[in-house]
Amino acid sequence: MFELPGEAPARTLQGKVTLITGAAQGIGRAIAEAFAREGALLVLCDVQAEGAEVAKELGALFVYADIAQPYHRERFIREAHKQWGSIQVLVNNAAVSAPGSALKVRAEEWQHVLDVNLTAPMHLSALAAREMVKGGGGAIVNIASVQGLFAEQNNAAYTASKGGLVNLTRSLALDLAPMNIRVNAVAPGAIATAGLLEAIALSENPPQTRTDWEDLHALRRLGKPEEVAQAVLFLASDKASFITGAILPVDGGLTASFGMAGRPV
């Protein structure tokens, strides 16, 4: 777009009330920062106290919420509406995991993963949609995973929850389309968050472990939280106005091949 000298470029989400779960660190924080730069009015939630500091830095409202709990989910939506009077965008980012096969994962661990990763996005989307429709529509973006597109050994709860989130995204897209609410998801590959980098550092051979992770991807590197955030920003914006029900891999080519994409045959 042509810009007059000194004219500031239009911001993608100027004035749009945006709710983001799990915004204290990692991908969630990167999404919050990207949306803040584009003029969104942010309402963030997390169970970690760092979320309040992130909100303060970005001029956002912070709501302490354990989204595994129905009342906390309802309060998150209620506080957002109380603050701004409307909701245009919801990003379901918060997630937990519980490593273990279906034979080993404990029932309470399984249930907690499903509560946070699948039930909460469903419930929050329904609650937010009721507010979005009052303003003429909106956009929901779910943070899924490549592990929701294929299975992984010894990670039954997480892969099941993310696989469910992928199809929930499609179902919501169909259900909410008449209300002018678009619903999409991104499926990140291995992203260099603090959690992954710590796991690599604690492995027996950190350099080799990092190489193994990088070699899963055609681009032969880990992704950055900011790269996921840009995909989310696009799907939430009017630039994606004819996109709904889509699952966008942000995975450096991980799902483009069978096996470890970056390694020569």
Residue positions annotated with a catalytic role: 158
**125 in Cβ contact with 175 (< 8 Å):** no
Tell the residue number behind the tokens 């777009």, with chain if given: 1
Length of the chain: 265
Provide φ and ψ at 123, rounded to 5°: -65, -45
The alpha carbon dihedral of 108, 22, 181, 56 has a sign of positive
Residues forming a β-bridge with 216? none
Alpha carbon distance 159, 97 (integer Å): 9
The alpha carbon dihedral of 109, 212, 221, 167 has a sign of negative
Alpha carbon distance 202, 196 (integer Å): 10
SS3 for 142? strand
Describe the strand order of the beta sheet including 247-250 as a list of residue ranges. 61-64, 41-46, 17-21, 89-92, 138-143, 181-188, 247-250
**191 in Cβ contact with 151 (< 8 Å):** no
Alpha carbon distance 159, 47 (integer Å): 22
